[in-house]
Chains A and B, each alone.
Chain A
Amino acid sequence: MLPGKYLVLGDIACAEGAIYAGCKLFAGYPITPATEIAEYLSRRLPEVGGDFLQMEDEIASSAAIIGASWAGVKAMTATSGPGFSLMQENISYAYHTETPIVIVNVQRSGPSTGQATYPAQQEFYQSRYGAHGDYESIVLCPSSVQETFDMTIRSFNLSEQYRIPVILLMDGAIGHMREKLVIPNPKNLNIIRRVYMDDNYTENGLVLPMGKFGSGQKLLITGSAHEISGKRNYTPKVHQSTIKRICSKIQANNDIIEIESFNLDDANTIIISYGVSARPSYGAMLNLRKKGVKIGFIRLKTIWPFPDTLLRNLINNNVHSIFVVEMNNGMAVREVSRVIKNAQVFSISVLGGIIPKIKYITKKVEEIIYD
């Protein structure tokens, strides 16, 4: 799509965001509600000199994009819960080998096949802890079609900047929602290019420049414990330092975390939400404001790393109640409870593949604050 205004599905905004970010290879396997991303890229990528691969399963899809990334191209896959589960072993490999890739999970209601076409936010924790081993994650969560485009580009940027698999955690509602998308002039987009070993190679930083197959670097890439050179080394010292480094490169960079807040100044009550459920949550906040409740709203755009410090700074001592609205059995609410100690934290959890209504959230908040 040329820069301009469009009315498109969230899935298409994601696919087009990938194109603008410079993605040159997509490998995927059909799954509702993420299939439109694959379908669209199957015709769009070859137009821009890229390749589309329909693999035999999601395991192969995630493997293929890691291979492609080391061969020097930006690569992405998109799936939903069942496929995301299948990808976890390869995602773990990508964390350990520090491979920049983007994995889109358009969440649907589970467990298992669940309600395959209905939206949910049940991979809040899986997107952080699903793969085996120790690592830190970057997970972004869009609330609109426009934001899906923007965040897809940001996912690629962060993956290149930090050499890490970045997870874009969408949901079936955002993926299948048709909304306005403004594609800016590419000149106004910030696209981060990969730093290769031959431009500015240092071994000191937290993020090391990357190698590229076929360029004579005789790369030794392995998922086994290894030294920076790639040489296998199982000594506690070497592996400890690898794990510490791949975790601190994310922990040390606060610019990864983005949140949005409204009406916090005088608030004694706050709603926190993310993804599609942030939309009615915002509506409920406005509703309650009209009724005189001193209520504010926080939307998490980066859900991992979890914004511990930001939330502590934003939520002052006047706040006595926090409501976490999410389409799962209460996940982010655990993190908020961990972080915020001087307010009561309540869960407004919605299950069954439905998006909470403004009225419902309003009622739930009122039930508690007027109790």
Chain B
Amino acid sequence: MINLIKKYSRFLPHKFCPGCGNGIILNCFMRAIDQLDIDPNSYLCVSGIGCSSWIPSPYLNLDTFHTVHGRAIAYATGAKVANKKLNVIVFTGDGDGAGIGGNHLIHAARRNINLTVFLINNYIYGMTGGQMAPTTPKNSITSTSVFGSPERPFDLCDLVKSAGATYIARWSVFQPRQLIKSMKEAILHKGFAFIEILSPCPTEFGRRNQLSIKDYLSLFDPKSSREKNKFKTPFGILVKKKSPEFCDILDQIKKIASKKGDI
């Protein structure tokens, strides 16, 4: 671990709350890229705004691009198309990636652009102090739903599936081995790869909804039946298929068009 930290981090310790899952995700990501035979200089980690956007920036000693709220995938799209050799990884949260940035998420999935998106779902807006998110389970208590959330949550894996993502997986931070393996697959996958990572937010979600880390463990237990599992989330690799990738198509267009170029 010390070696990994030396190799891949520029600032530590991180500032995440005790019990937050974000540190585990940072750890898993460092392990995943360490196990892959890819030039670290080719990674570009893009994030938006929110607790999960701090996983790569400032902690990872790679090119990191901490952008504005909700737009990480759009920034990533421009960078990837401009330099197709980059391995572009987006770290986003449920508020960032599915609330304010939901439009970019579905369109990037639709294009099947070769991006890897790790969406960390903690069911709440953590950084701003615990407001209701588009993933907050119905009737949960948040600082903007003290009577219980009146809204139905998104199933994000279903959402990106119908939008056309070609690699989709869901894990919780309590499944680090599976997560590391899946992160590697997602990075190597040619096309839009999406992993929803369920993560406890003891400070904002757990506290308000009386969930200890132990409760989170049973909530995120992949073995518990879907009925018992309050969040009704199937884990594992949900989609893995081949489909023409967007940047490749752009390159083909260039080939056809360049035959008539005049400067």
Contact = CB atoms under 8 A, between A and B. Distances in A.
Q: Do A and B bind each other?
A: yes
Interface string A53-97: 101110111011111111111010000000000000110010000
A25 interface: yes
A90 B78 contact: no
A55 B85 contact: no
B70 to A, nearest CB: 8
A49 interface: yes
A139 B74 CA distance: 25
Given A63-B75, A213-B86, A186 B263 contact: yes
Contacts of B263: 2, 19-20, 48, 186
B83 A53 contact: no
Secondary structure at the A interface, as helix, strand, loop or mixed, is: mixed
A231 interface: yes
Interface in B57-107: 57-58, 61-68, 71, 74-83, 85-86, 103-104, 107
A286 to B, nearest CB: 38
Contacts of A215: 41
Contact of B107 (A43, A56, A214): A56
Interface string B216-249: 0000000000000000000000000000000000
5 contacts: A63-B104, A64-B78, A67-B46, A186-B263, A218-B62
Contacts of B107: 55-56, 60
Contacts of A67: 46, 65, 67, 74-80, 82
Nearest to B39: A216
A68 B86 contact: no
A117 B67 CA distance: 33
A231 B254 contact: no
B71 A59 contact: yes
B78 A53 contact: yes
B79 A71 contact: yes
Interface residue range, chain B? 35 or more
Nearest to A215: B41
Given A73-B82, A93-B67, 15 more contacts: A2-B263, A46-B250, A47-B260, A49-B258, A51-B82, A53-B81, A57-B103, A67-B67, A67-B75, A71-B78, A72-B82, A75-B78, A214-B44, A218-B62, A220-B58
Contacts of B57: 220, 222
Given A223-B67, A224-B66, A64 B41 contact: no
Which of the listed residues B58, B79, B258 has the most CB atoms from chain A within 10 Å of its own CB?
A: B79
B86 A71 contact: yes
Which of the listed residues A27, A51, A215 has the most CB atoms from chain B within 10 Å of its own CB?
A: A51
Contacts of B42: 214
A214 B77 contact: no
Contacts of B104: 56, 60, 63
Contact of A47 (B10, B65, B77, B261): B261
A68 B78 contact: yes
A47 B86 CA distance: 23
A51 B81 contact: yes
Contacts of B74: 55-56, 59-61, 63-64, 67
Given A43-B257, A47-B262, A217 B63 contact: yes
Given A53-B81, A56-B104, A213-B86, A220 B64 contact: yes
B2 interface: no
A25 B82 contact: yes
B191 to A, nearest CB: 17
B262 A1 contact: yes
A51 B80 CA distance: 11
Interface residues of A, number: 51
A24 interface: yes
A66 B62 CA distance: 19
Which of the listed residues B62, B74, B103 has the most CB atoms from chain A within 10 Å of its own CB?
A: B74
A221 interface: yes
A296 B65 CA distance: 51
Contacts of A25: 78, 81-82
B12 interface: no
B253 interface: yes
B82 A68 contact: yes
Contacts of B64: 219-222
Interface in A90-128: 90, 93
A239 interface: no
A1 B254 CA distance: 17
A178 interface: no
A220 to B, nearest CB: 5
A59 B69 CA distance: 11
Contacts of A56: 74, 103-104, 107
Contacts of A279: none
Interface string B99-133: 00001100100000000000000000000000000
B83 A223 contact: no
Contacts of B79: 67-68, 70-71, 213
Pairs of residues from A and B, 3 with the lowest C-beta to C-beta distance, nearest first: A64-B78, A67-B78, A46-B257
Given A51-B250, A59-B74, A214 B67 contact: no
A225 to B, nearest CB: 12
Given A218-B62, A222-B57, A223-B67, A64 B75 contact: yes
A368 B46 CA distance: 59
Contact of B63 (A27, A48, A214): A214
